[in-house]
Each structure stands twice: as structure tokens, then as C-alpha cells.
Chain A
């Protein structure tokens, strides 16, 4: 029985094992990447990107300073500016505590993502807010699964 198994039989026997599923998928990805390596030189970086990073080392908000005055319009290079008439307001906004930090120290830029306001919040909440909604839903579902399985055991 073992001797005269055709190659197709052996292949389908390997594929039909659930344990080999991960390896199979990883193999597929490796094949695509190896084929893709050939085309990599043809991929060129597009220079006119959205939400470009501009660096101003002298600013207290160093990596995240995008200029503009609080509660005024600041130009933000978004995809569809006409859809977000108030884009730029969140970019310049700092809570009083963060404003105080920015005025007195040079380290506000390193902690800006921990405070409400700034360019990242502008993108995450305003112009690309839909992404964040989906992201939190993923988190919600994942914790739902984890806590359901956990509570069932105990």
C-alpha cells in the first residue's frame, strides 16, 4: 500500500493535515516575496507624500511640530481637505498641562503622543477616524474572545 502511492496522493495527504496549514501559508508567502524581490527595483518612492514629516530641531515639540497657532487654521496635507473643514485645529491644540510642559522643558515632543492633541491625533481621530474605529473594534472583539475563554475555564 505504501509503495505505490502516487505523488498526488502524498501531496494531498500532506495538505489535508491541519497542522501543516501554517507551514503551507508561510511557504506561499515566501514564494511570493522571492518572486517579488525581482520586481523590487522597479518600486520607486513617491516624493509628494501626504502628511509629510517636517523636522525643526529647535522647537520644543521637536519631532511633531507642524507650526500654526492654536484655535486657528493650520494647513494639513490631507487627501480630501474639503471633507475635513476643521483639519489643523487638533494639530496645534495642546492641553494646558502640555502647553506648560512645552514652555518649560525641551522634552514635550517625546511625550506628545501621550497627550490629547497633535498631528497624530489629527490623523487618527479626524481625517482617518474610520481606521481608528475599526481598530478599536478589533481590540474589543479580541478581548471578548479572550475573556470568554478565560471565564469559561474558571
Chain B
């Protein structure tokens, strides 16, 4: 019954997880992304926050910035949640489910950066939060146009050649992932990465990169 129809990008499926209407699949492509996300989630679990140093110019004096353990615990929680959301988005086989996972990635990214007290970082996090909220409009809009024009949300059906997905739906999906992953807006990322807490900040970049690779597969295949 379940045969991944396209072989040109993902290859044959290796393993299938059936959750009712939503059938997650592991093809060589998605498995590679999944393993990558898994490694970084494991890194987020075991790693310690970086300790930043401020050096006073014109002397030997330097002082270390204090790492707030409460903040670190919260960020670690958000980073792990972000990793799990990325894992889900990599293997899900349903368009609407994918958009939900993308939203989850977006909101956990807000959580990672919103924990800082620095007003400059908070401002960047806020602007990014607005973009992530706006991005749900094209994401859900794209999924809704897909279901209205093809009658299905399952990637197993959409990837077959018989089903034509409107161009605007694909554009909406890409646009939505751009907003959630904040990928082209590196200006905001630069502001955010000034904050301390390197291993958890890294998760923001990894998740948006992986989301992009995944949405490229979806858009090309359908």
C-alpha cells in the first residue's frame, strides 16, 4: 500500500510510522536530516553554556559574565523542545502536520532568545516573534489551498504525478517556513547571537536550516 511515489529526491522509503491519517516516513533523505537533528538535540542535552569574558582595554583586567542557572535551565528546555519539533518536522508525512511542526519550531526559537534580560536582544526577539506569528498565515493558508484543490493533505498522495498542487500553495509554504525559520533575515539573527549561551542559540540555526531542506523536498516533490 505505502510506496513513496517519487524516487528522484528522497529515494525509497525505509521505514513507515502510521498515525491514522498521518503517515510519517523515513526515506534516505529525511533519515539523514533526522539523524542530523538528533545529534544536535543530544548536544543540547549534554552541553554546558559558554562562559563569556569581558576584557578591559589598556590593562590585564578581565571579568567573566555570570551564567544564571535558572535562565540556563529554561533555555535548555526550549532548545530540547526545538530539537524534538525539528525531528517531527523532518519525518512527518502530512502537509498540515508539517506546518504545525514549523510553528512549534518558530515558537521555541522565540523562547530560546526571549529569556535574556538584555533589552537589545529582547527587541530582536520581539520583532522575530511578530514575523513568526505572521508566518503562520501563509503556512496555514498554503495547507488549506492544498487540501481544497487536491482533496488530500497526505504527502503520499501529493507526491504522485497525478495530483497537481497550485503554485501559490507551494510559494505560501516556502514563505511560511522562511518566516518561522527566519532564514533569510540574518540581520535579526546577528542581534540575537550577541547574547550568551552558545549551544542553545545554535539550535535556532540548525532548526531553520533543516526546516528549509525539508520544505525544499516537499515543494519539489509535489
Contact = CB atoms under 8 A, between A and B. Distances in A.
| Direct A–B contact in the complex, CB atoms closer than 8 angstroms | yes
Interface of A: 15-19, 21-22, 24-26, 28-29, 32, 35-36, 39-40, 42-50, 78-80, 82-84, 126-131, 134-135, 137-138, 141-142, 144-145, 148-149, 152
Dominant secondary structure at the B interface: helix
B137 A29 contact: yes
B148 A46 contact: yes
Given A46-B148, A138-B103, A148-B115, A36 B168 contact: yes
Interface of B: 1, 18-23, 70, 74, 77-78, 81, 85, 88, 92, 94, 96-97, 100-101, 103-104, 107-108, 110-111, 114-115, 123-124, 127-128, 130-131, 134-135, 137-138, 145, 147-154, 157, 166-168, 171-172, 175, 178-179, 185, 187-188, 191
B218 to A, nearest CB: 17
Given A80-B21, A145-B107, A21 B127 contact: yes
A35 B175 CA distance: 13
17 contacts: A18-B127, A28-B178, A29-B175, A32-B175, A43-B168, A50-B147, A80-B21, A82-B1, A83-B19, A128-B21, A137-B85, A138-B100, A142-B107, A144-B74, A144-B77, A145-B114, A152-B70
Nearest to B133: A22
Contact of A44 (B1, B135, B147, B149): B149
Given A19-B127, A45-B148, A79 B97 contact: no
Contacts of B187: 15-18, 21
Contacts of B88: 134
A138 B92 CA distance: 16
Contact of A128 (B20, B110, B150, B166): B20
Dominant secondary structure at the A interface: helix
Contacts of A32: 138, 168, 171-172, 175
B166 A131 contact: no
Contacts of B191: 18
Contacts of A36: 167-168, 171-172
